Each structure stands twice: as C-alpha cells, then as structure tokens.
Structure 1
Amino acid sequence: MAYDALRAARELGALGPEDVHRLADAAWWLGLLPECLRLTELAHRDFLATGHLDRAATQALDIGGMLAMRGEPALASAWLSRARRLLEGLPVGPAHGTLWYVDLSFALEEGRLDEAARTAEELRRLGQAHGHDEYVALGHLGQGLVLLRRGRVTEAFGQMDEAMLLVVGGQVDPEWAGHICCMIVSACLDVADLNRARLCSEAAYRWLEDFEHAVMFTGVCRAHDVDLLVIEGDWAAAERKAELVVRDLADLNVEAVAEVEYQRGECHRLRGEYNEAEVSYGRAAALGCEPQPGTALLALARGDVATAWETVCDAAARAATDPFRSARLLRALVEIGVAAGHPDAAANAAVRLRELADTFGTPGFQAWAAHCYGVVALARGDAAGALAPLVRASSDFRRMRAWCDAAAADLLLSDVHATLGDAAKAEQYRDSAVAVFHRLGMPTPTVMPRPRSELDGVLTAREAEILARVATGAANRDVAESLSISEATVRRHLANIYLKLEVRTRTAASAWAYRHGLVPEARA
C-alpha cells in the first residue's frame, strides 16, 4: 500500500517535501485526518525552508480547508491568511487557483454573487492558461452555483454538466473530482430536484468505484443518501447510513455529520418519536446546523403551537435572503400558521413560496407550493379551490418518490372530497394515505391542521388526533395502531380529554369533536 511504503520511508528520514505531501495525501484518502494535518504542516515547513513559496502556500490552503471542515474556523482562517500572504507578489499561477476557489465559496455564502461570478470566470481562465482542467471544472461549477442562486436553473445545471464531463473524462485530479461530484448533488438537493439528485449521486458512486478507500467522499455521498432516504420514508436505511456517516466523518467533516443528525431528527419526528427527535436536533445544533424547520414542526406536533409559530417566524426572517432555506421554512410556516390561527400569514407565505417555485421551476419547489396553496384554501373553507393544487402536489410528490408528502396530500384530498360531498372519493384517498403511513411506520396525522381557535386551546395536538379518530368510531386498539402508540396511552389520553371537555362518555366527546371541526360533518 502506498501509504505504508511512504510512511516506512519517512521513518528512515528518506522523504523530501514532495514525498511528505504524497504521504499526507494518502493519509487524507484513508480518513486519517490528524496524521494528514501533521504531515501537511511538515511539508509546508519544508517547502518554506527550500524557498518554494507557491508549494508552501498550497499546503497552507490544504490545512485551512481541512480545519474548516473539521469545525475549527479560527485556525482555518489563520492558515488561509498565511497562504494569501505567501502568494502575494508571486506571478499568478496554478497555486492561486485553490485560493480563488476559497474566495469564490465565501462570496457565494455571503451573497456576493457578482464577485463570485467574476472569480469563477477567472478560475476557468487560469485553468485554461496553465493546462489545469481541475480549475476549468471548478470555474464551471462556480458559475453554475451563482446561476442557481439567481434562479437560472437550466443554465446552472448546464455549467455543472460541463464540470462533470471533465470529471468523468478523467481530466480532473481526484481530490477536486470528488468535491465537484458532491457539490453538484448538494445543489440538486438545495433546489429539491430529487430525481436529478439521484442521477448525480449514482454518477458519484460510479466515480468512487475506482477509489476504494475514499473515506471523505464516500461519507459525504452517504450523507446525501440519508437526505433522499428520509424523503422516501425509508427510515431504517436512513438510520444505517447515518450511523456510517457519523462513524467515518466525526473528525473529518462536521457539516456532513450535523446534517445527518438533523435528518435523524426528521426520522424520529415523522415517526412520532418526539423525545428522540429533540435529542437529534440538539446534536445538529451543537455541530452548527440550525435545526429548522424541524424543531418548529416538533413543537407543533407536541401541541405547543405558540412556540412553533414563534420559532418558524424567527427562522424564516433570518433566512429571507437565502432562497433555498426560505422555501423549506415557508412550507412549514404555512402548516404552522394555519394551526396557530394565522390564516393571512399562512396565505402570504404560500404566495412567497409560489414566487420561489415560479423562479426556480424545480419539481420539489413546485410540489411544495401547490401543496401549500391547497392547505390555505382548505383552511379558508374553499374546498373546491384546494382540489386542483392538492391533486398536482400528490402527483408531483409521487414522481419524486416523496411518499410521506404524497400521503399527506392525499389525506387533505380526503378532506376536500368529504367537504364537497363525494364520500367514496374521500374514503379512497384516506385509505390510500393511511396505507402509506402504516407502511412507513408513521402515526396518521389529523386530516387538516385546524386553527387553534377551533380547538378552544383545550386539547393538545395528540389529544386532538386521538379524539378525531374516536369520533369516527375507531376503537382504542385501532387508534393505537394508527398512531403507533399503546392502548394504555390511548386510554390515558382519553381520560385527560374527558376531564378537559367536562364530559363522561365517548359519545359526548365525539359530539364536541364534530362541533369544533375535528371531523368534517360530511363524513359522519
């Protein structure tokens, strides 16, 4: 193995700085980050001592990048500053390419899109001038990311395709090739183009077949898999992949680990495992990932509507300049706004989400916007107006294999058809939705998030779910099965419901449920 041979030579003192760099590179591919950092710093000092300032700067940039991924931004910044100082006054050459890509990344993150676009073009020209196709590819990638932020999605993915062609043609150094593959999949997920994300992920795995020990890139690809598996509702597979990511990347890539912890929280929340969800969201937050809209939706599921509303509004305000984050938060804002009795705010959020969907035009954004329009229309009593957008959302979610979301849309369509007087279709949609929820191991949600005023602030969300089922004639065992809880838990909740409503029988509690809109009258 190259790493073992180089390490043995190093122990004999027979390696120059270039060989030390190669040894560090081998350690990086194996996921041995502490060893890689030590060796890269040693190579940096050796290059400095021999007057190779451009190579010393490259090593400093490598150290800065590794520390940034590890979650040590202060040290990373110091090394990047050193690299910048070393390159000052040197003729522009390949060593500047990595620094320019770092600058491009910062400009993108901070919303300086014009600057990012200029840097991407300079990077592409640098690669062409010096015969370094990795910088040509990074230039195309950078232009694509800028265009994506501007909503020019077709052009954006065209640029990324150019970068990918250089990768699959073997014209890009493996370190950069893996990075480009991962960034393109991430971009697809950002704009909720799930089928494109799957295709790009498959291409990344094919590229990885030639790199058996690529710990970092394999881990990041698995992190993207977790995102997709959660959307598909394959919780068990998502959990298995998440465990591997945490195991392999805990000391390598804090951002990837934080993201899978957030997705673990989503798995638990959607399955009704609220305490476990809270723990996972907390881990994600501790690693620097804002766990939104997950924690807001968790508060809603627990019946704490006020906290859910305050949390999602605050998060949406902070993400206002980030279209990708905004889309996800606006979607949650609609759901929580309806439940919290803020129909106008929910409607405004649905309009803003529709504007993003029209700008970006991706399948996911379009489906989210249609679903939210249906939610708002139904909450306002406009069942006829909710029908078309919810049908579209259900269809779009199925094409994306977002089974949980499709079932949620079908549950709303059941409510729509019941309100419109078509009991057969209402039952058909409800049966379809419940079957999916059962298959996924999820509790069946209430048909429609009801404004808090309709519940008189009396019942928690879980109590409302149970009462809604009891009111339709479900036995305790059926309620327990549909919500994935025990019969004893159902009995305990019913006892609390009777006390809160000041009733003594299921019949009286059911009558209260119909009067307060927990169950549509047309379904009685």
Structure 2
Amino acid sequence: MRREQAIAAVGRRDWQAAYDLYAGLSDRTADDTQRLAESAWWLGRMDESIRIYADAYRQHLESGSKSGAARSALLLAISCRLVGEAAQGDGWLGRCARLLDTMPEGAEHGYALYLRIAALMGSDPDAALESSRRMQDLGRRFADPTLVCLGVYYEGRSSIKQGRVRDGLALLDEAMLSALSDELAPMWAGAIYCGLMDACHELRDLRRAFEWTEATRRWCEPLPLTSLYPGICRVHRAQVLQTRGDWKQAEEEALGACRDMVGVDVWAVADAHYEIGEVRRLRGDLAGAETAYTQANEFGRDPQPGLALLRLAQGRVEAATASIAAALAPEGGSRLGRAPLHAAQSEIALAAGDLALAEASAQEVADTAVAFESAGLGAEGNRCRGAVLLAQGRAVEAMALLRMAFNTWQELDAPYDAARTRLLIAAAYLALGDADAATREKSAAEACFARLGVVATREGLPKGLTAREVEVVRLVAAGDSNRAIAEKLVLSEKTVARHVSNIFGKVGATSRSGVTAFAYDNGLMGTNTHG
C-alpha cells in the first residue's frame, strides 16, 4: 500500500510525500531506492540524492539489472556535474558506458547520448545532429516518448548551430509543448526548457524567451524553490526582466537563485551572479557590478563581456581593451556565443579610437545576425555599425542603421537598448545640423533612463575633465577643427591644441574619432552621464 502511495505521489509531483513514503519502506527495491534519490533531487537535497543514487546503482548491480545500474550511473554523472564535481561525474559516465557495452541495444543507450550530444554541440554540430536522430530512433523503437522528445530537442539545437534557425526553433517549440504537458519524465522536461532558453539567449529571441519562461514558471510553481528547475527558471526570468527594463525584479529573481541554488547547481548560481552584475552595471552601480562579476567568476562563469564593459564604464579604456581581447583570444566556441563579445569589442574599440577594429567587430555581429536570422542580434549589429559610421563622420549612413536598430528594440520591448540607440540618433542629428531633433531624441532617451533608474556613474565630470575640456570635447565630437573651436570659445589655437592634447591623455584616445566616441558613450553631448 505504501509503495502504491509513493508511486502516486511521484505521478502528481508531490516530491516531499514521495520522499517520505519511499524513505519509510522497509523492503526497498532498487527501483524504490532510485525513486527515493529522485525525490531527494527534486527537493534540492543534492548531496543526499547523489548518495542514494549510488545505493540504487549497487542494488541494481546486485539484482542483475544492468539497465537499471546504467540509468543510475548516468543520473549520477549529471548530478555530480551540477554540483561542480566534474571528475566524479566523468567516473560515473565511464561506468555507464562500460555497462552499456555489455548490453543489447535499448533505450538506455539513447539516454547515454545526452551528455555526449551536449559536448558535441559547440564543436561538431553535424555529429550532434546525427546523434540526436539516433536518440529519436531508439526512443521510437523502444516506445520511450521522453527519449524521442529529447532527440527532437537536440535536433533543434543542432539545427540552430548549423544556421537552420527556423527549422531548429520549430523543433524546440515542439519539444517544449511535450515537456510542459506532463507527457515526459519531469527531470528531462526541465532539461529541455533549460536548453531552449539557452538557445533563445544566444539568438536574443526575446519574445520566445518571455513566452516560454512564463509557461515554465507556471510548470515550476508546485515545486520547492530549492529544486533545480525553479532555480534555473528564476535565472532565465531575470534575464528576460533585465532586457524588458524591470531591473529591480530581475535582481530579486537572480538573488533568489543565488540563495536557493547553492549546493544544487553551481552553474545556475554562477549565471545568477553574472546577471546581477549586468543589472547593476546598466543601472550605474559599478562597485556592485564588480562584486557580482567576481562572484560569478568564483563559481566558474567567465564574467565576459560584462566585465570588459564595466571597465569601460569605469573609464579604464586600456583595461577594457585588454579584457575583451583576452576573452576573444581562444579559438573555437560557437559563432553565436562569440557575438556578444564582438559587440562589446566594437564599443570598446570606438572608445579607444580604433575604428578599424570597431568596424570589423561590428560587421561580425551583423553577419552573425544574418546567418542565424536573429532580430535581436540584428539590432545590436546595426547599433554597432551605426556608431562606427557616426565616428567616421558618415552621419547619413549611420542614421539609417540606427533607426533600424531603434525600431527593432522597440518591437522587442527592450527599452534600455532602445534608449542607448536613441542617444546615438541624437548625435547623428547633431552632426547633420538638426539641433532640435537631437534635443528631442536625447530628451526621450534621458526620460527612459530615469524611468529605468539609471544613476550617474561618476561624481562630477568623467575622467577628471575640466568644464572647459568638456566644451572642447563636445566641439571635437561635432566635427570642428582646432581653428573653429578657437573661434567659438574665443581662445588661441595653441590653447585649444593644448586642451585637445590633455583630453587625449585623460580619456585614453589616440584620435579625434576616439574622443567623439568617448563623448557619445559618456553622454557629454548633454549634461548627464549614464552607465
């Protein structure tokens, strides 16, 4: 009777009841022990779950069930990796593989492909696609709908990596419908959601990310907050909220994930800290962002490109340049994954006055957006290219790209990105001699920053500039020669040249274009600065 009650509790996802009932069994079978381990896993008791899964593995071996032992070993491999014990995870994966080598082909061979496909995704999407289709075939042959759905999900991810984005997203949507309809084993349903959100984040597919995050949040509601997937869902929700400008709620969600995921998923904690760093950097809390990025790094997450952009916001242009260059130095990695690094490099290179590098990086972002049919990346690419054109004195061409970027950000409900782009549009209008239009765009951007809670990132004027030097910076950014500046400010050309030289040294620029980029990035075409 107790065993039947425990099975029913698992069926309705009442993991506390399932745990209590299985723990109370005096004659636990290997399957019972495995379900007890699963219940502990859902309750966020990862260390206990790992210990109990190891007990289930031994029980399966003692009873002669190689298939059961292989499944326990695979779940141990996954669980150990989640808590940051990669070596132990590899050991359990090796045990799983050796068992499968001695068994006739079955569904277990399909599940064992899960970690293999994940490893292939970034290095060999063709091989990942082949394995995903083998996973589906095994699922159909052995009547395992969860395995079929996992294969469909991985086929979608692999297709996106190959550049067949529409086909890939359609497959991911199909897999998610099954995952959230309770047709699948809950653990694997959550894994599909996590992978879909990773794809949305890479593609900057903001609408799809929002829709599926809300759907998954409802799916996670019955689960304890210390469960794996509610915590991961909170991280993804924080990412969506950050893009939509709800920074207070985004930080609260990420802080909750940091608190609840310790000891459950080290990678979720790392991503949550990084997201906190992003929110704080955008808001202008540079010290708070520094702390959050450091914590993300301590938990194993590369804090780029946020850290390099933080250095830029701190006015440390040389440090920002070195930081982003180091992040891009290693070969490999997916083109999608490198696109945010290139976007950051374009912005930093502009501030340093390296227009050639800024242009090359901006073009890489734009080309990646085309290759992967990404509206969000397309907007980022157009903003970067527009900023470069503006620094090159090509305001008319810049305006066209910046308008396209702004319209896309508006459609995607990304207010901060839209406002940043609007500042560049204001600069383009100013360069074209339309001061009224420039004022309108700048005022609209400033109003948005105020609504979002962006704060000034520095006391007084940036980089130690004097009020007179700021006047010179603005005129340099407007395209005036030293002679024209001297006439407008009633100074000698020699004095203006000295001011320009001082400005170059203070802002770390090597050209007038670099000074122009610095002026726009620091809001010096008006009176306020924003991070």
Question: Deviations along 1:187-213, whole A, 9 cap, x unmatched?
Answer: 111110111111111222233346567
For structure 1, the residue ranges without an aligned partner over 5 or more in a row are 447-458, 474-499, 503-512
Amino acid at match of 1:48: L
Aligned partners of 1:400, 1:302: CA distance in 2, in Å? 29
1:216 Cα offset (Å): 1.2
The equivalent of 2:260 in structure 1 is: 248
The equivalent of 1:391 in structure 2 is: 403
Q: TM-score, normalised by structure 1?
A: 0.84
The equivalent of 1:435 in structure 2 is: 447
Three-state SS of the structure 2 residue aligned to 1:87 is helix
Aligned partners of 1:19, 1:52: CA distance in 2, in Å? 14
Which of 186, 190, 209 is equivalent to 1:178?
Answer: 190
The equivalent of 1:261 in structure 2 is: 273
Question: Deviations along 1:330-350, whole A, 9 cap, x unmatched?
Answer: 111111111111101111111
The equivalent of 2:481 in structure 1 is: none
Which of 263, 269, 294 is equivalent to 1:282?
Answer: 294
The equivalent of 1:91 in structure 2 is: 104
1:157 Cα offset (Å): 0.8
Which of 58, 81, 85 is equivalent to 2:71?
Answer: 58
The equivalent of 1:155 in structure 2 is: 167
Contact 2:293 2:307 in 1 (8 A): yes
1:469 Cα offset (Å): 7.4
1:156 Cα offset (Å): 0.4
Amino acid at match of 2:111: T
Amino acid at match of 2:68: R
1:170 Cα offset (Å): 3.2
Give the length in aligned residue pairs.
476
1:38 is the counterpart of 2:17: no
Aligned partners of 2:462, 2:374: CA distance in 1, in Å? 33
Amino acid at match of 2:99: L
Aligned partners of 2:363, 2:313: CA distance in 1, in Å? 24
Contact 2:121 2:158 in 1 (8 A): yes
Aligned pair in 2 of structure 1 residues 213, 445: CA closer, same or farther (>3 Å)? Answer: closer
Aligned pair in 2 of structure 1 residues 193, 4: CA closer, same or farther (>3 Å)? Answer: closer
The equivalent of 1:326 in structure 2 is: 338
1:83 Cα offset (Å): 0.9
For structure 2, the residue ranges without an aligned partner over 5 or more in a row are 1-13, 475-497, 501-511
The equivalent of 1:135 in structure 2 is: 147
Aligned pair in 2 of structure 1 residues 392, 62: CA closer, same or farther (>3 Å)? Answer: same
Amino acid at match of 1:21: Q
Aligned partners of 1:219, 1:72: CA distance in 2, in Å? 19
Aligned pair in 2 of structure 1 residues 286, 5: CA closer, same or farther (>3 Å)? Answer: closer
Contact 2:156 2:167 in 1 (8 A): yes
1:320 Cα offset (Å): 5.4
Aligned partners of 2:22, 2:182: CA distance in 1, in Å? 30
Aligned pair in 2 of structure 1 residues 234, 470: CA closer, same or farther (>3 Å)? Answer: farther
Question: Deviations along 1:48-95, whole A, 9 cap, x unmatched?
Answer: 111111101111111110110111111110111111111112011122
The equivalent of 2:430 in structure 1 is: 418
Within 5 A, what are the aligned runs for 1:477-488? Answer: none
1:73 is the counterpart of 2:86: yes
1:297 is the counterpart of 2:319: no
Question: Deviations along 1:94-116, whole A, 9 cap, x unmatched?
Answer: 2222211121111114x111211
Amino acid at match of 1:313: A
Contact 1:330 1:349 in 2 (8 A): yes
Question: Deviations along 1:199-232, whole A, 9 cap, x unmatched?
Answer: 1112222333465678211111111011112222
Which of 76, 88, 100 is equivalent to 2:113?
Answer: 100
Three-state SS of the structure 1 residue aligned to 2:207 is helix
Contact 2:427 2:525 in 1 (8 A): no
RMSD: 3.0
Amino acid at match of 2:73: A
Aligned partners of 1:469, 1:501: CA distance in 2, in Å? 10
1:234 is the counterpart of 2:241: no
Three-state SS of the structure 1 residue aligned to 2:329 is helix
1:166 Cα offset (Å): 2.5
Contact 1:231 1:403 in 2 (8 A): yes
Amino acid at match of 1:55: G
Amino acid at match of 2:352: A
Contact 1:303 1:460 in 2 (8 A): no
Contact 2:225 2:260 in 1 (8 A): no
Percent pairwise identity? 32
Aligned pair in 2 of structure 1 residues 148, 19: CA closer, same or farther (>3 Å)? Answer: same
Aligned partners of 1:260, 1:5: CA distance in 2, in Å? 30
Aligned pair in 2 of structure 1 residues 31, 344: CA closer, same or farther (>3 Å)? Answer: same
Question: Deviations along 1:467-507, whole A, 9 cap, x unmatched?
Answer: 7878899xxxxxxxxxxxxxxxxxxxxxxxxxx969xxxxx
Aligned pair in 2 of structure 1 residues 444, 147: CA closer, same or farther (>3 Å)? Answer: farther
1:363 is the counterpart of 2:363: no
Aligned pair in 2 of structure 1 residues 422, 231: CA closer, same or farther (>3 Å)? Answer: same
Aligned pair in 2 of structure 1 residues 293, 5: CA closer, same or farther (>3 Å)? Answer: closer
Contact 1:104 1:120 in 2 (8 A): yes
Aligned partners of 2:466, 2:415: CA distance in 1, in Å? 21
The equivalent of 2:507 in structure 1 is: none
Aligned partners of 2:454, 2:469: CA distance in 1, in Å? 17
Aligned partners of 1:249, 1:16: CA distance in 2, in Å? 30
Aligned pair in 2 of structure 1 residues 47, 465: CA closer, same or farther (>3 Å)? Answer: farther
Which of 127, 135, 139 is equivalent to 1:123?
Answer: 135
Amino acid at match of 1:101: Y
Aligned partners of 2:425, 2:211: CA distance in 1, in Å? 31
Amino acid at match of 1:34: D
Three-state SS of the structure 1 residue aligned to 2:182 is coil
Question: Deviations along 1:341-377, whole A, 9 cap, x unmatched?
Answer: 1101111111111111111121111100110111000
Question: Deviations along 1:248-299, whole A, 9 cap, x unmatched?
Answer: 1111111111111111111221222222211111111111111111111111
The equivalent of 2:10 in structure 1 is: none
1:171 Cα offset (Å): 2.4
Amino acid at match of 1:423: A
Contact 1:24 1:37 in 2 (8 A): yes
